[in-house]
């Protein structure tokens, strides 16, 4: 308690209030108390309890002869107690803020090392335990991207963190932000954690900006598996943007065909040129007919539904499909030709054709 008893004794006699250097010493005591694990409630309780014990022994209180003198002395002492406790609280909060910043810095460094695979795996596993992860287990990474960049103080991030960690604090889960996205790393056995994260990111509540897309990587084991699952989730987000997919929720396992298609970009470009190149001869260019093929596929090749989505009559849609058959020689009515057309359309979207030259 430092010089708190001596201060109260002097204040009870003179009526003065604590000096600047005395208040700074109490701030320092508050910092030390926080560093030693004292809560602010415990600290305030200690000083108020000490004041109660000291009260009857304070010389100014003992010598007060009248009620007026006792009131004046009590007011001065309580004012000093109030100032000292406020200084203690300031010091305690200062230490807490410093600890939080240090914790966030260490957490940020750990997340960077983990997701980039930059650190020694043994050392990384040791550090992971501090943040609630057991890297020897199998993990899955989910990544949410919003219309605006996420950071550690973003209100949606705080909302998701408060709910997710409040519900699953004892689980093997880590939540962080990375390059403007919200990242959740969870043990693969905890499907409810990932499902809850996706649901929260998609619909965090009123006045909280929702995620534009959430992608979930596949499950992998070890620290290297976390990196791999994270990269799969990022690739899924990138593919969804390039393909202009409508889905908010994405699973990397459902998009595995696209890395296969892109593995040989030369072959994919050749497929697009060969199958879809003739569409450039159509009036209005290839894009309206490419959109027609895309919407027909999404509608399950039900002409009435595809026409509705395109805002066309069924007759106009039929004309477009016939024009596609005439120009390319392929028709969606034949299964193998339909597959070829769909693969070429996906390839065109992945390669940015016809806006970009192949």
Per residue of the chain (358 residues), what is the pLDDT tens digit? 888 899 989 888 888 888 999 999 999 999 899 888 888 899 899 999 989 988 888 888 888 878 888 888 889 989 999 999 999 999 888 887 776 666 666 777 888 888 876 666 667 777 777 776 777 788 899 999 998 899 888 889 888 888 887 788 656 788 888 899 999 988 876 678 889 999 999 999 888 999 999 999 999 888 788 888 999 999 999 988 887 788 899 999 888 877 777 778 888 899 999 999 999 998 888 999 999 998 998 888 899 999 999 999 999 999 999 999 999 999 888 889 999 998 899 888 888 898 888 7
What is the structure's pLDDT at 35? 85
Q: What is the pTM of this model?
A: 0.61
Q: How far is the C-alpha of 293 from the C-alpha of 65, rounded, in Å?
A: 99
The answer to whether the CB of 146 falls within 8 A of the CB of 135 is no
228, 217 contact by CB (below 8 A): yes
Which pLDDT score is estimated for 38? Answer: 86
Backbone angles phi, psi at 138, to 5 degrees: -90, 130
Mapping DSSP to helix (H, G, I), strand (E, B) and coil, where does residue 215 land?
A: strand
Closest CA to 135 of 89, 181, 185, 91: 185
Asked whether 80 and 7 are in contact (CB, 8 A), the reply is: yes
Retrieve residue 134's tokens: 């057991």
Residue that has been written with the tokens 């954690």 in this structure: 193
pLDDT at 134 (0 to 100): 78
Per-residue confidence (pLDDT) for residue 263, from 0 to 100:
78
Strands 173-178 and 249-251: unpaired
With DSSP H G I counted as helix, E B as strand and the rest as coil, what are the percentages for the chain, rounded to 5? 65, 10, 25
Residue 2, Cβ density class (10 Å: 0-12 exposed, 13-18 middle, ≥19 buried): middle
Element (H, E) at 174: strand 173-178
pLDDT at 352: 86
Backbone angles phi, psi at 187, to 5 degrees: -60, 135
The confidence score (pLDDT) of residue 99 equals 66
Classified as helix, coil or strand, 47 is helix
Angle separating helix axes 335-351 and 287-298, nearest 10 degrees: 120
Strand pairing class (211-216; 138-146): antiparallel
Residue 190: the pLDDT is 66
Cα 308 from chain centre: 38
């Amino acid at each position: 308690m430092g010089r708190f008893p001596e201060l109260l004794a002097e204040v009870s006699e003179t009526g003065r209030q604590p000096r600047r250097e005395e208040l700074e010493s109490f701030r320092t005591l508050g910092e030390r108390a926080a560093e030693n694990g004292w809560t602010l409630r415990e600290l305030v309780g200690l000083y108020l309890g000490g004041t109660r014990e000291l009260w009857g022994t304070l010389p100014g209180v003992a010598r007060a002869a009248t009620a007026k003198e006792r009131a004046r002395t009590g007011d001065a002492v309580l004012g000093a107690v109030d100032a000292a406790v406020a200084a203690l609280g300031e010091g305690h909060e200062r230490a807490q803020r410093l600890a939080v910043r240090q914790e966030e810095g260490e957490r940020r460094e750990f997340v960077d090392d983990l997701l980039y695979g930059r650190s020694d795996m043994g050392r990384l596993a040791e550090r992971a335990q501090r943040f609630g992860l057991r890297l020897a287990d199998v993990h899955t990474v989910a990544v949410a991207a919003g219309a605006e960049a996420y950071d550690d103080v973003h209100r949606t991030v705080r909302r998701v963190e408060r709910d997710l960690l409040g519900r699953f604090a004892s689980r093997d889960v880590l939540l962080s932000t990375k390059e403007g996205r919200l990242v959740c790393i969870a043990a693969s056995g905890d499907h409810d954690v990932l499902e809850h994260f996706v649901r929260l990111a998609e619909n965090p509540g009123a006045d909280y900006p929702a995620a534009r897309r959430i992608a979930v990587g596949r499950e992998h084991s070890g620290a290297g598996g976390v990196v791999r699952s994270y990269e799969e989730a990022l690739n899924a987000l990138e593919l969804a943007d390039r393909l202009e997919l409508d889905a908010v929720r994405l699973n990397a396992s459902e998009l595995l065909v696209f890395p296969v298609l892109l593995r040989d970009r030369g072959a994919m470009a050749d497929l697009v040129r060969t199958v879809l190149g003739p569409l450039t001869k159509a009036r209005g260019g290839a894009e309206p007919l490419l959109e027609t093929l895309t919407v027909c596929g999404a509608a399950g090749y039900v002409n009435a539904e595809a026409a509705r989505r395109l805002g066309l009559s069924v007759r106009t849609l039929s004309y477009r499909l016939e024009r596609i058959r005439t120009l390319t020689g392929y028709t969606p009515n034949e299964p193998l030709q339909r597959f070829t057309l769909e693969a070429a359309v996906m390839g065109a979207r992945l390669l940015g054709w016809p806006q970009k030259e192949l």
